[in-house]
Structure 1
């Protein structure tokens, strides 16, 4: 059975504020729904391991979110995430980074996960991310010494969406700017529109509305 590694944040706040945060639930659950439907397994991991913070668990009318959140296997894995130090990257065929603001404070600059992701990509693995998830691609440096993003076209949560969401003054850094400076190309569509870019084995989605499309592209890449 194919398996996807899902690194998530240990940081449960929005930047340095006291606002509860972490991983944004629908960006995780909608992708997991598609993975499990396709018979693809997954592990949830984090830098420190253990229980990880998740928000957006009370969205009305999101049946998929509710279904995955109530799944016993999911609850066990999200309450007992695997610490990065215990991972064997050879066990996985893809890495998926869900969004949420928490990872801007840890995964966006974590060398341990970045080294695993570089090894994974250079041995044929797939990298996927949605919304703020592409921040975790920033520290990935290939064996050539070049940043992964230096040759990739990507998308992610936009400046306009930060303004709409009233987080522009609270984020540790503006993701759009960082990607525009580091990636070969950063692209976006109108705020909150579904948008996915697939560049070789790197799949990125702009916002929560793009989670389903990222999951679909990931499944298709894994079963190809």
Structure 2
């Protein structure tokens, strides 16, 4: 049995360009689908957040329209209710990578607010990348990669191929013109090789020990790839 660290946002809002606080958090599908996959494989899950705060679910991610209808929404809500570890997170600042076999970052707009500028998360990501341990990041989770800087100021993920929530998807979601910055653009500016696929279609990119997914639909295939890497 492996021990997998879920690094989740502690933010309940995303500050837009005009200062408005857009209510958000983590995206339910991107947390519960990998959680169910890993637990079914017999693995242990530990949740970490900045400051150890209990993460907030983005209420929009529980809506029927985000889950293919009411039946899907009910399934995701039930799965989230059974995700007991989410109610008892450890402090991200206290985490040691040595205690874990793999690391996973779900998305939601929350990481754009806190993980993108978190030194603790940045250090963990650099360590995970260099360790060769499986590292999975999905949707807006790759915002955290922006804080993963080496001593010379370069981004540790520069030159890596990744999937992440695209500018086209942010535009279609209606928030691109209100955002301070766009994830795909910032990653590319940091030297990360973003491989964009069709909006909303499942898309997973594997580069060495890094497994990334573009959007909520990518969380299931990403979890399957991480399981392969765990053996």
State TM-score, norm by structure 2: 0.88
Aligned mates of 2:117, 2:227 — CA distance in 1: 27
Q: For residue 38 of structure 1, what is the aligned residue in structure 2?
A: 41
The reply on whether 1:69 has 2:72 as its aligned counterpart is: no
Q: 1:177 to 1:110 in 2, by over 3 A?
A: same
> Relative to 1, partners in 2 of residues 1:172 and 1:43: Cα closer, same or farther, differing over 3 Å?
farther
Matching residue of 1:13: 13
From 139, 146, 149, the equivalent of 2:157 is: 149
Structure 1 Cα separation of the partners of residues 45 and 152 of structure 2 = 29
CA distance in 1: counterparts of 2:218 and 2:152, whole angstroms: 32
Matched, 1:111 2:114: no
Q: Which runs of 5+ in 1 are unaligned?
A: none
Distance verdict in 2 for CA 1:20–1:184, change over 3 Å: closer
RMSD after superposition: 1.8
Task: Indicate the SS of the match to 2:9.
Answer: coil
State the 1:129 CA deviation: 0.7
Q: Deviations over 1:108-147 (max 9, x none)?
A: 1111121122223222212111110111112213478642
Q: Name which of 178, 188, 191 aligns with 1:183.
A: 191
Q: How far apart, CA to CA, are the structure 2 residues paired with 1:152 and 1:13?
A: 29
Q: Distance in 2 between matches of 1:208 and 1:163?
A: 16
Q: Structure 1 CA distance, aligned partners of 2:228 and 2:208?
A: 13
Which of 62, 67, 90 is 1:57 aligned to? 62
Identify if the C-alpha distance between structure 1 residues 121 and 215 changes in structure 2 by more than 3 Å, giving closer, same or farther.
same
**Quick one: structure 1 residues 170 and 42, their matched pair in 2 at CA, closer, same or farther if it must change by over 3 Å?**
farther
